[in-house]
C-alpha cells in the first residue's frame, strides 16, 4: 500500500508540474490543436456522410472585432471581467432552474469553457468537471482576461470543422474577423450552445431570436469591452 501511495503521489506531482508548465507555455504561444478538434476529426473520418475538414487560423485579439468580443460576453458570461473564473450567482440560478425544469441551463463562464476546450475532453463526468475547475483556476492565475478571450475566440467551435473567429468569419461572411459587424457577431455567437443543430448559414427562428436578444444586450452594454488597467499591466 505504501508503494502504491508513493506512485500515486508521484503521478499527482508530475501532473501538477506538467499542467502548470503547459498553462504558462500557452500564456504566450498559440494553441495548435485541442482535444475537441482531434475528436471531431476522428468522427469525420469514420462518418462517410461528413467531409473531413479542420479550418482554423490563429489571430491576435486586436485582429478580432470588438463586436464579437462583446457579443460572447453578453451571451455567455456577462460577469467575465469581474469574476475569477467562476460566477457563483449564475451557478446558484442554474441549480434552481434545473430543479424545476427539464430544459437544463448551464453556468460555465468563458474561463471555464476555455479551460475545457484547450486542456480537456468533452463530457459531463465529475472527474472532468473537477479537472475543469483546476485548469480554470490555473488560467485565471497565469493568464490575463485578454489572453483568456483571445484563446477562447481562437479555439471555439462555430460549426462542423470550423474553429475560431477568423475561420468562421471567412467561412460564413467571406471577410476577416476584424470586420465583423454587430449583427454578424451576434449571429455567430447565437449558435455557440450547439453549433451542429444551430446553424449560421441556415439560421432557424430560434437562432434569429437569440441573435436579436444578443444585439439588445450589446446595445444595453453601451460600447466595447474595457479590460482594465490591471489587466494591461499583467499583459
Residue-range domain boundaries for the chain:
26-43+62-222
Model pLDDT for residues 109-164, shown as the tens digit of each residue: 999 999 999 999 887 788 888 999 999 999 999 999 999 999 999 999 999 999 99
* Nearest-angstrom CA–CA distance, 8 and 1: 10
Q: Please tell me whether the overall predicted TM-score, pTM, comes out greater than 0.85 for this model.
A: yes
pLDDT band at residue 235 under the 50/70/90 scheme: very low
Q: How many CB atoms lie within 10 A of CB 72?
A: 23
Mean pLDDT of 90-102: 63
* Nearest-angstrom CA–CA distance, 112 and 17: 20
pLDDT band at residue 97 under the 50/70/90 scheme: low
- SS3 for 159? strand
Statement: residue 96 has pLDDT above 90: no
Comparing 3 with 172, which gets the higher pLDDT? 172
pLDDT band at residue 8 under the 50/70/90 scheme: confident
pLDDT band at residue 104 under the 50/70/90 scheme: low
Q: Shortest CA distance to 220 belongs to which of 180, 186, 175?
A: 186
Q: How many CB atoms lie within 10 A of CB 46?
A: 8
The grid coordinates listed for 94 are 442554474
**Does CATH number 1.10.3810.10 belong to domain 26-43+62-222?**
yes
Please tell me the predicted confidence (pLDDT) of residue 50.
79
* Nearest-angstrom CA–CA distance, 46 and 49: 9
Please tell me the predicted confidence (pLDDT) of residue 117.
94
Please tell me the predicted confidence (pLDDT) of residue 45.
87
Statement: residue 102 has pLDDT above 90: no
Q: Shortest CA distance to 147 belongs to which of 63, 54, 231, 218?
A: 231
Please tell me the predicted confidence (pLDDT) of residue 163.
96
Please tell me the predicted confidence (pLDDT) of residue 126.
86
Mean pLDDT of 91-106: 61
Model pLDDT for residues 170-180, shown as the tens digit of each residue: 999 999 999 99
Model pLDDT for residues 28-75, shown as the tens digit of each residue: 999 999 999 999 999 888 887 778 889 999 999 999 999 999 999 999
Please tell me the predicted confidence (pLDDT) of residue 233.
42
pLDDT band at residue 231 under the 50/70/90 scheme: very low
Amino acid at each position: 500500500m505504501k508503494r502504491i501511495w508513493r506512485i500515486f503521489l508521484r503521478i499527482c506531482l508530475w501532473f501538477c508540474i506538467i499542467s502548470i508548465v503547459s498553462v504558462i507555455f500557452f500564456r504566450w504561444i498559440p494553441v495548435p490543436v485541442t482535444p475537441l478538434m482531434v475528436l471531431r476529426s476522428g468522427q469525420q473520418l469514420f462518418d462517410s456522410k461528413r467531409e473531413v475538414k479542420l479550418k482554423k487560423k490563429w489571430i491576435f485579439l486586436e485582429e478580432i472585432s470588438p463586436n464579437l468580443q462583446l457579443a460572447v460576453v453578453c451571451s455567455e458570461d456577462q460577469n467575465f471581467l469581474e469574476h475569477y473564473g467562476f460566477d457563483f450567482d449564475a451557478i446558484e440560478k442554474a441549480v434552481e432552474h434545473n430543479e424545476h425544469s427539464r430544459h437544463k441551463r448551464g453556468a460555465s463562464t468563458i474561463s471555464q469553457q476555455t479551460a475545457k476546450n484547450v486542456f480537456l475532453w468533452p463530457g459531463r463526468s465529475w472527474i472532468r468537471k473537477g479537472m475543469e475547475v483546476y485548469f480554470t483556476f490555473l488560467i485565471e492565475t497565469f493568464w490575463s482576461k485578454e489572453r483568456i478571450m483571445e484563446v477562447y475566440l481562437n479555439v471555439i467551435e462555430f460549426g462542423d470543422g470550423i474553429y475560431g473567429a477568423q475561420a468562421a468569419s471567412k467561412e460564413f461572411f467571406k471577410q476577416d474577423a476584424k470586420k465583423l459587424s454587430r449583427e454578424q457577431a451576434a449571429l455567430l455567437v447565437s449558435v455557440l450552445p450547439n453549433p451542429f443543430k444551430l446553424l449560421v448559414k441556415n439560421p432557424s427562428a430560434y437562432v434569429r431570436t437569440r441573435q436579436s436578444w444578443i444585439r439588445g444586450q450589446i446595445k444595453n452594454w453601451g460600447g466595447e469591452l474595457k479590460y482594465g488597467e490591471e489587466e494591461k499591466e499583467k499583459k
